[in-house]
Amino acid sequence: MLGEKDLTDIEQVSPEMLEFFLAVREDHPEDSEIKYTSPLVELLVSADRDQLSQSFTEHNYTRGEVIFHEGDEGDTMFLVWAGQVVIVKGSLQSPTILAYRGAGEIFGEMALLEHQPRSASIIALEDTRLLGLSRLNFEQFLRTNPSVSRSIMEVLSARLRRMSEARSSGELSEKRLTQQVSTLQSEKQRLEEVQRLREETTELIIHDLRNPLSAIGISLRMLSLVLPEDILQANSDLFGIAQASTQRLQRLVDSLLEVSRMESGETRFSMSEFELPPLVDELIQRTSILARKGVVVTTNIATDLPAIVADREKIERVMVNMLDNALKYTPENGRISIEMQRKDGSLWVSVADTGPGIPFEDRERIFERFTQGVNLEMKRRGFGLGLAYCRLAVERHGGKIWVEDGEEGMTTRFVFTLPLLPQSDC
């Protein structure tokens, strides 16, 4: 049951220090890799609501209060329901600011995984409402929800790993941006440097776009967590459209950053064995809400398909990008056909649609970054990010991807292949 915080031993930072925290916040870089999504919140929302309410305790803090100190013993993770906190290390008289956390974000999660003192201090920057999950309640929650227990542990582990990768990426970008263009020796080198700076500037802009997008996604998840069930049911269609559209925009932003990383060889592939048809069925259900009126999606999947060894997340994004592309350009009462078959030692996957089609001269260029296909009926078919991502991901798996004429009334057919044996160079 939700309860109140213990009001004993409350400490407050000085007004001067609080003003310092607030002033630094305005110029503090957002930790976009962490803030972009709250997968733990999404997993918790998927659990039983009654069990969830019994697992959390409510804690309320006023502006300037110290929630806990570095070195304190702790056994509770916190989810920020409302307000904002700052995470600092060292003395509160001269602290080092690590990060800020707002609504929908978590902190103190290591208390659920280990019996170690707190690694940082947390201070409320404004009146803040928290939901606390103790280690005892967390363990009980995992026992009563075995289907999500492993996923939650993977989320916590991935979150810590992304923090480390984000810091390394930031240091690398800073080092590159300090290089002087004046040291280049030829026109070719200068053009290459301008291109590199343009790409890095684009990535910085995309990181800025992720922050308002993050707020939208977190708000939707928080609403699904706290609104009554009858209100959620009555507005399920609107929530579905909002969530699907937000996820679509998230994938577009992700694709731009991931394309740059794969081109530079910075992306790691996590290979596992899984079956593709069930994943495709799930993606059709998830994305079909964005289809125009009367659009019919059909599948023709061979029954003897074996499991594949691939990076599930990246292959899922390839399929989502191809489905998004087909749904976006298939007119009302149109058709989309998804086929899978085993051929020449590979898995062949195709997505065909009755959209405006792609001219023959554009069929190679559309897989390049920032390239758009031109058509008399539909001048622009995508931004070149999703398809560029598909090409890089498929080729890194040892497969191929191309576009060709459709059959039986279909104007366009995208095809990609994946080898049925694992590729050691991924």
Q: pLDDT category, 42, cuts 50, 70, 90?
A: low
Alpha-carbon distance of 348 to 391, in angstroms, equals 15
Alpha-carbon distance of 392 to 227, in angstroms, equals 41
Q: pLDDT category, 5, cuts 50, 70, 90?
A: very low
CB neighbours of 291 closer than 8 A, spacing ≥ 6?
Answer: 297, 327, 330, 336
Q: Is the pLDDT of residue 180 over 70?
A: no
What single-letter DSSP state applies at residue 307? P
The string of pLDDT tens digits covering residues 350-406 is: 999 998 888 888 888 888 865 554 443 444 444 456 788 899 999 999 999 999 998
- What pLDDT, on the 0 to 100 scale, is given for residue 192? 67
Alpha-carbon distance of 363 to 414, in angstroms, equals 10
Q: Which two tokens stand for residue 52?
A: 């969830």
Q: Is the pLDDT of residue 210 over 70?
A: no
Higher-confidence position of 305 and 180: 305
CA distances to 98, 109, 116, 157, 171 from 113, in Å: 21, 7, 9, 10, 29
CB neighbours of 410 closer than 8 A, spacing ≥ 6?
Answer: 335, 337, 352, 353, 354
What single-letter DSSP state applies at residue 125? S
Identify any residues that bridge with 298 across adjacent strands, giving them in sequence order. Answer: 337
Alpha-carbon distance of 228 to 235, in angstroms, equals 11
CB neighbours of 2 closer than 8 A, spacing ≥ 6?
Answer: 53, 56, 57, 58, 131
Instruction: Tell me the range of 70-74, 218-222, 400-404 where mean pLDDT is highest.
Output: 400-404
- What pLDDT, on the 0 to 100 scale, is given for residue 155? 63
The string of pLDDT tens digits covering residues 244-264 is: 777 777 767 776 667 777 777
First to last CA, the chain: 48
Higher-confidence position of 65 and 214: 65
Helical spans, DSSP H, in 28-145: 32-35, 39-45, 49-55, 135-144
- The CATH superfamily of 15-146 is Jelly Rolls (2.60.120.10)
- What pLDDT, on the 0 to 100 scale, is given for residue 241? 80
- The CATH superfamily of 272-419 is Histidine kinase-like ATPase, C-terminal domain (3.30.565.10)
Phi-psi region of 108 (alpha: psi -120 to 50; beta: other; left: phi over 0): left
Q: Is the pLDDT of residue 126 over 50?
A: yes
Its pTM stands at 0.48
Alpha-carbon distance of 304 to 306, in angstroms, equals 6
- Name the nearest CA neighbour of 300 among 421, 418, 413: 413
Average pLDDT, the chain: 77
Burial letters 96-112, b for 16+ CB under 10 A, else e: ebebbbbbbbbbbbebb
Q: Phi then psi for 14, rounded to 5 degrees?
A: -70, 155
Higher-confidence position of 119 and 289: 119
CA distances to 5, 66, 80, 126, 220 from 8, in Å: 9, 12, 21, 19, 35
